[in-house]
Chain A
């Protein structure tokens, strides 16, 4: 595998989305290429920063209530 081929696979490698064969070849290339290893580390860090620094907002209580209501019909008129 050369650098161009490895480059295309970097994101998929970071996400654990390579096939078994691709993964083997990719990491073999990384073991002998500093540039691609640096690219790979950067991509990994970028993923991490997005996952950790972008705020996740929780649903407001009013929304929780209305969704819960939607799906909690109790057939009390039956009893």
Chain B
């Protein structure tokens, strides 16, 4: 970017000025449209990689790619969904290849991981929602992790990230009908798990009545 030759710099000033004006405009737009979703992207990356360093790398690569291809982002559509799609592709192409056996989750590891970072940088909303209130964060999380990935993924994208079915369908490369049925089945599985926890604490659930 720096040019040590002042003569050359002066000569190309005109071009550089208009170029940088365009670049500057792109940066501002990118900040407003894309960078505002940084926390959501990091959170998602952390949940899929289970490793803070990997999550940071994944988010960095996602933003680099997003910035490079920002012109291809369809203005007026959901930028967060566009970024998630890039992140997911990156994850599949780079991270997954090096990961452990698929489907094998080390629960103790997750519990430790969850504990170790939740105190330092978490953002939770506490509300009273009947017997579920008794459930610990990591229990809910473990229940979520116990689901097959295809179910867990759509639940995360829908319930945590708030994407529409159409956006999710695009992200997971499946028809909307598939997203619908995965959510239905996933939630059913999840509910069974959660009810197991709730019973452990002696709370009556609907199925007991």
Contacts and interface: CB of A to CB of B under 8 A. Distances in A.
Contact of B27 (A12, A59, A73): A73
B16 A78 contact: yes
A58 B126 CA distance: 17
**Interface size range of chain A in the complex:** 35 or more
Contacts, number: 147
B56 A56 contact: no
Interface string A22-65: 00000000000000001001110111111111111111101110
B137 A68 contact: no
Interface residues of B, number: 61
Contacts of A47: 158-159, 187
A24 to B, nearest CB: 18
Main secondary structure of the interface of A (DSSP, over half): helix
B203 interface: no
A28 B102 CA distance: 43
Contact of A78 (B17, B118, B187): B17
B129 A46 contact: no
A50 B181 contact: no
Contacts of B3: 77
A77 B164 CA distance: 45
A21 interface: no
Interface in B123-160: 123-127, 129-130, 132, 135, 137, 140-141, 144, 155, 158-160
Contacts of B184: 7-8, 10-12, 43
B13 interface: yes
25 contacts: A7-B184, A11-B183, A12-B165, A15-B165, A45-B129, A45-B130, A47-B159, A49-B135, A49-B194, A50-B140, A51-B160, A52-B125, A53-B135, A54-B140, A55-B122, A57-B123, A58-B43, A59-B41, A63-B38, A66-B60, A67-B60, A71-B30, A72-B27, A77-B1, A78-B13
